[in-house]
Amino acid sequence: MTKELIIIGGGIAGLSAGCYGQMNGYKTQIFEMHDKPGGLCTSWKRKEYTIDGCLHWLVGSGPSSAFYRIWEELGAVQGRQMIEHDEFMRIEGKDGRIFIVYTNVDKLQDHMSELSPADSPIISEFCNGIRQFGNFQPPLLCLTYRRSNDLGSCLWWAVEDLNL
Ligand SMILES: Cc1cc2nc3c(=O)[nH]c(=O)nc-3n(C[C@H](O)[C@H](O)[C@H](O)COP(=O)(O)OP(=O)(O)OC[C@H]3O[C@@H](n4cnc5c(N)ncnc54)[C@H](O)[C@@H]3O)c2cc1C
């Protein structure tokens, strides 16, 4: 008997569910109430402009990230160049001073401490938190990488990964 899967919503989650369903031998049907797929992750044309209403950065997009394998499985990253930006964003104060959110945590720490030397201890604590979190792999990936179906174990491993 053919296994069938009905998916409500053709956003990234629904489309991915459809792909994985088919990879696993299901006949899939996606029901989308809008006239195009994509959900929140979409763009549209208005006069001569393309409005990009969605992703500005993609978590786990580097090949060294565990998430990357999922993007590969879904065929989303093949042939695309991932660009690692040096700066995440810049905020300019009324006084003209600029706070740059560097993606390199050491650079960020130096920059923040330079802007506000008195806050160095808390900045150091904050940046150490970022360093620790940088090694975190989402629990979902435990399912893939540690070959477990037990969400409880995965969450436990996530806590271990964070070294809490
Ligand atoms: C401006 C903006 C910027 C963003 N930037 C980033 C970013 O930089 N990085 C990042 O990782 N994420 C970003 N996100 C978040 C990301 O876009 C969303 O988390 C993701 O697209 C959600 O996908 P989803 O499939 O879970 O839900 P949705 O995209 O909401 O999809 C749900 C779909 O279900 C349909 N639907 C709902 N109810 C029904 C129904 N009853 N019947 C049929 N169809 C139905 C909807 O029409 C929709 O198409 C951003 C989001 C926005 C809006």
Q: Does 36 sit in the ligand 1 pocket, CB within 6 Å? A: no
107-160: pLDDT as tens digits: 999 999 999 999 999 999 999 999 998 777 766 655 554 444 555 555 555 555
Separation between Cα atoms, residue 158 and residue 154, nearest integer Å = 6
Tell me, yes or no, whether 7 lies in a domain: yes
Q: Does 39 sit in the ligand 1 pocket, CB within 6 Å? A: yes
Residues in the chain: 164
Overall number of domains in the chain: 4
Residue 15 domain boundaries: 1-43
8-25: pLDDT as tens digits: 999 999 999 999 999 999
Separation between Cα atoms, residue 41 and residue 44, nearest integer Å = 11
89 CA from centroid of ligand 1 (Å): 23
Query: Stretch 85-98: mean pLDDT, rounded?
Result: 94
Do 39 and 75 lie in one domain? The reply is no
